[in-house]
Structure 1
């Protein structure tokens, strides 16, 4: 019997060693923490581990993260549900019922609490960069873009917080029997990113009724193109490029023989604007002296000096996309053009068009406002990106 017991223990040790070797071999892939992909041959979370996820957005001073269809609050260090409810302005009992907790329960720093109804939107008054919910990156916020144009057009631009954007994540309510691993498998995200987004503890503890934000995947895992190579079979020899595509027959001309690239038009500070050529894509919104040239990131347009009351015209035909003003009372006018182009006009007054109006090139849209120095700040944008207006004006 003792011999059989020793043999059984020996066999168990051998089996355990083989299992450990199998686990170590699997470590060439991102580690599947619940081991199910290794032990029973089911699918694993390696693809989810390779997928890149965006960071969770920053909350405002109250802890509120606002999306178009829901809001959540992020607990601060030392919070109970009651203190968090007081900070966001909702009854603690209502918040407790919605999240399946008690009003006096302590919360982990960073823990997500779902809000059953909307509270006041984050705004500069609550520490947010802009007012309103987080929008998708593809949504062009014309008003924000134009307000930023005001800041860049000043001689000494102030530092502004960058508005947050991002796709709205799925909000998942934990059901009985679910774990962080089963939920990460359900949405094909890594357990680590799920824990980071929701500030789970080291044991990935969940409670029934808890709400989780599912991390937004920004880059899916690249599929594996080749199967694992069996031991001893050797590595395949790569095919040289010339085997599938012949080498070019002609030799490229020497660099000296190629014509020099045409220099881009540049605004010269102090020069007078001239009437744009008939074939130019745009015309100057006002005639005057260029007092500040384009410098991407510092002045994303040009500033044209002109007398107060001078007529400002549309640089190209399009539709008025926005008319607004910033906190200093500076008017901002944005016109949308074909090919995803926008023109922005600031430091103007007596605006004679309305949002949605169709305008023609050269049509009067406003007057030069009374500023020191009197000027028009003019930008051309390709979507979000500024481009040098001189390339369109000459």
Structure 2
């Protein structure tokens, strides 16, 4: 399908034209000929369309960028629609219909092609850093970080070890009459960043039906007093429960209490409970001695938090082998030890790690120190495979 670009208006009077071209000649971007109202004193949106934006995420070896609600593929040099379709594993005709192109059409390097349905998620096997879609940092948990670190065969990572994180961009489908400039103004991003994210040519040409990723702003606007333009907004704040103890649940009234049934497992830790030396028959020992400041709650807190002084030795809960040492997106250290029976223990909020990946450790061996946090504590998890379980089942 033929591309279309901006419709040029009739020539202005010479004096006005000279003035406009002199101003625009100093710009680094192609001429924006959508000049409605500017010469008559109308509002100029050029400055508003310069919101700072992040770089586009890196695709995997197939060219796939995956988000929770959609996937796109990035064309490589020399690609046609058919070769890209073959690389991602979708029928060329289906991909062509969805994007309004022909199967034999040549694609520009970096051009975005929307996928009509999901293909296999990026993973280390396809050249990605981690497995799964790009998610906000608040949604990337210790399980993802630990499992990705364990899957990689190299020693303690020297390269970027965290999965790609970020906001999911708006995916805009071009309508007849729209241009790169009108779209960039709609979402308050620069036309140049729009071109860089989507591999547009030097003329910023678009075609009807084309899908564009709207660049994600690097920072939130200051104190907006009205609803914000599409594609803008502040980052999702970290929930208070991520750093503060969960509130104690209110027990049912005595009249409603019933006789307790035989417990199938040891009771969960109570907030405020003091740890004690684990019995010799317990499968694991506490990594530090202190007060439990946050209890296990699957899906909300996949371990227990034990308060302890900064610099206190953190000890291996059981004998095993160091499986991974990495950090999360906030720079917090994560240490993972693998044990028999497909068990893992995870230790975070630690520093001065004294072991390295592959080391054998014994129960009670010091492996790190309590790091300086407010409050100072160790977050401790037990995983059966990568599924969290209540650590107290192994500590009592």
For normalisation by structure 2, the TM-score amounts to 0.56
* 2:332 is the alignment partner of 1:346: no
RMSD: 4.7
Matched residue of 2:84: which SS? helix
CA deviation digits over 1:197-232, x for unaligned, max 9? Answer: 101001111011110001111225669xxxxxxxxx
* 2:200 is the alignment partner of 1:200: yes
Number of the residue aligned with 2:32: 33
Shift, 1:311, TM fit: 3.2
CA deviation digits over 1:220-271, x for unaligned, max 9? Answer: 5669xxxxxxxxxxxxxxxxxxxxxxxxxxxxxxxxxxxxxxxxxxxxxxxx
CA deviation digits over 1:164-214, x for unaligned, max 9? Answer: 111000101111111111111211111111111101001111011110001
Number of the residue aligned with 2:53: 53
Shift, 1:120, TM fit: 0.1
**Equivalents in 1 of 2:277, 2:36: separation in Å?**
66
**Equivalents in 1 of 2:204, 2:28: separation in Å?**
22
Shift, 1:82, TM fit: 0.3
CA deviation digits over 1:361-386, x for unaligned, max 9? Answer: xxxxxxxxx96343464576xxxxx7
Shift, 1:137, TM fit: 2.3
Distance 1:32 1:53, change over 3 A: farther
**Equivalents in 2 of 1:174, 1:164: separation in Å?**
27
Distance 1:112 1:376, change over 3 A: farther
Contact 2:129 2:163 in 1 (8 A): yes
Q: Note the 1:138-157 alignment, pairs <5 A.
A: 138-147=138-147, 157=156
Matched residue of 1:217: which SS? coil
Matched residue of 2:38: which SS? helix
- Choose which of 338, 360, 369 in structure 2 pairs with 1:372: 360
**Equivalents in 2 of 1:15, 1:168: separation in Å?**
43
Number of the residue aligned with 2:285: 312
Distance 1:330 1:46, change over 3 A: same
Higher helix share: 1
Number of the residue aligned with 1:296: none
Number of the residue aligned with 1:293: none
Gaps of 5+ in 1: 1-11, 224-279, 287-306, 333-339, 356-369, 381-385
Distance 1:379 1:112, change over 3 A: farther
**Equivalents in 1 of 2:156, 2:333: separation in Å?**
20
Shift, 1:28, TM fit: 10
Number of the residue aligned with 1:297: none
Gaps of 5+ in 2: 1-12, 224-271, 304-319, 325-329, 346-357, 379-396
For normalisation by structure 1, the TM-score amounts to 0.56
Distance 1:165 1:37, change over 3 A: farther
Q: Note the 1:96-135 alignment, pairs <5 A.
A: 96-135=96-135
Distance 1:76 1:345, change over 3 A: closer
Contact 1:50 1:220 in 2 (8 A): no
Which protein has the larger Cα radius of gyration, Structure 1 or Structure 2? 1
Shift, 1:72, TM fit: 0.2
Contact 1:32 1:45 in 2 (8 A): no
**Equivalents in 2 of 1:114, 1:86: separation in Å?**
14
